[in-house]
Amino acid sequence: QLHLQESGPGLVKPSETLSLTCAVSGGAVSSSSYYWNWVRQSPGKGLEWLGSVYSSGDTYYNPSFKSRLTLSIDTSNNQVSLDLNSVTAADTAVYFCASAPWVWLLYYFDSWGQGLLVTVSS
């Protein structure tokens, strides 16, 4: 059973870069059994898929964030990272990392972190 834990600054200034990490335990981020995802929830809204990163290095991004978002895997620390640049107040949200089974024709998120509230404000 995977355990995921998000960490990072709770406050980021407008125009700066939001950087978060997701520590994974119970499995290796380099495994070919899973791929890794970031999802966020803005205040009063539903969940929003940001993107996915595979241990192969492949990444897939929500088109709405593609120009500002970078997802990566750090195998030495067994964690997944998110960088979102040029943030505005609209990026204030709870950010979740989630795993998904890397299996042909399986499309769901089976383990989630508790989430981290990030506020964008000067």
Map the footprint of other proteins across residues 75-94, applying CB under 8 A. none
Q: Which amino acid would we find at residue 100?
A: A
The reply on whether position 70 binds other proteins by CB under 8 A is no
Please, which contacts does 107-110 make with residues 24 or more away whose CB atoms are closer than 8 Å? Answer: 109/37, 109/39, 110/2
CB 48 → other proteins: shortest distance, Å?
6
Look at strands 11-12 and 18-25 and give their pairing: unpaired
Interface mask (CB under 8 A) for other proteins, residues 37-66, using x and -?
Answer: x-x-----xxxxx--x-------x-xxx--
Map the footprint of other proteins across residues 92-121, applying CB under 8 A. 96, 98, 105-115
CB 76 → other proteins: shortest distance, Å?
25
**Are the CB atoms for 23 and 79 separated by under 8 Å?**
yes
- Nearest CA to 84 out of 32, 46, 48 is that of 48
CB 96 → other proteins: shortest distance, Å?
7
CB 23 → other proteins: shortest distance, Å?
14
Dihedral, CA atoms, 65, 4, 8, 10, nearest 10 degrees?
80
Q: Which residues bind other proteins (CB under 8 A)?
A: 4, 37, 39, 45-49, 52, 60, 62-64, 96, 98, 105-115
